[in-house]
Chains A and B, each alone.
Chain A
Amino acid sequence: GESVGLHLPTLSVQEGDNSIINCAYSNSASDYFIWYKQESGKGPQFIIDIRSNMDKRQGQRVTVLLNKTVKHLSLQIAATQPGDSAVYFCAENPFRSGNTGKLIFGQGTTLQVKP
């Protein structure tokens, strides 16, 4: 079946560096994507979202890029901090007719920030 997936299970970066987390999706009907951060023992926390009519969206220290041609999504974190250490998931919500709003998640990338 169609799913949203991530390229790397683990990413290790030095504190202060920029981080890039990637996600490939296969559902061409998807037109809305969300990045979540999940810390140990907690539920997923919304970071940033993007609709398919956009290529880029910026938040505070985070940027999401969408390349619909190759069905690729990325999350960039600027000046990575120890508090950014967590598992990051991309999720898809296709706005088809009768959409219930359920999310399809990828497997996650663990971001480790070295001091």
Chain B
Amino acid sequence: DTGVSQNPRHKITKRGQNVTFRCDPISEHNRLYWYRQTLGQGPEFLTYFQNEAQLEKSRLLSDRFSAERPKGSFSTLEIQRTEQGDSAMYLCASRGGGIYGYTFGSGTRLTVV
């Protein structure tokens, strides 16, 4: 499989728990993005990595959210002390040097109960 892989596909957690999602981008892509999508809405940008450097973070990314890409390959997105408002689809995307080829994964659907 040469696409963007995200795990888990679904996560149900109790309010207050921490969760971590993983994204494996297309291997030759050095740029990686996280987006959040709520029901009926378009994806909203959260953060951007070029190689291992996190170069931009949205104001949507509160202190409870942290993202890493330690070796410039896979990335993790952690949400601490989850709240019901965090329930959403979390999408990862990657691309190479040009904007063409911007590829999304299938996402991780988070439900906070």
Interface residues in chain A, defined as those with a beta carbon under 8 Å from any beta carbon in chain B: 32, 34, 36, 41-46, 49, 89, 91, 93, 100-108
Report the separation of the CA atoms of residues A32 and B95 in the bound assembly, to the nearest whole angstrom: 16
Please give the distance in Å from B49's CB to the nearest CB on chain A. Answer: 10
Size of B's binding interface in residues, CB under 8 A: 25
Q: Which residues of B contact A101 (CB under 8 A)?
A: 31, 33, 48, 95, 99, 102
**Is the beta-carbon distance between A102 and B45 smaller than 8 angstroms?**
yes
- Specify the chain B residue showing the minimal Cβ separation from A9: B40
CB interface residues, B 75-111, toward A, < 8 Å? 91, 93, 95, 99-100, 102-107
Q: Which residues of B contact A100 (CB under 8 A)?
A: 48, 50, 55-56
Report the separation of the CA atoms of residues A36 and B35 in the bound assembly, to the nearest whole angstrom: 15
| Residue in contact with B103 in the complex, picked from A46, A91, A104, CB distance below 8 Å | A46
| Residue in contact with A34 in the complex, picked from B44, B48, B102, CB distance below 8 Å | B102
Report the separation of the CA atoms of residues A45 and B91 in the bound assembly, to the nearest whole angstrom: 12
CB interface residues, B 26-71, toward A, < 8 Å? 31, 33, 35, 40-45, 48, 50, 55-56
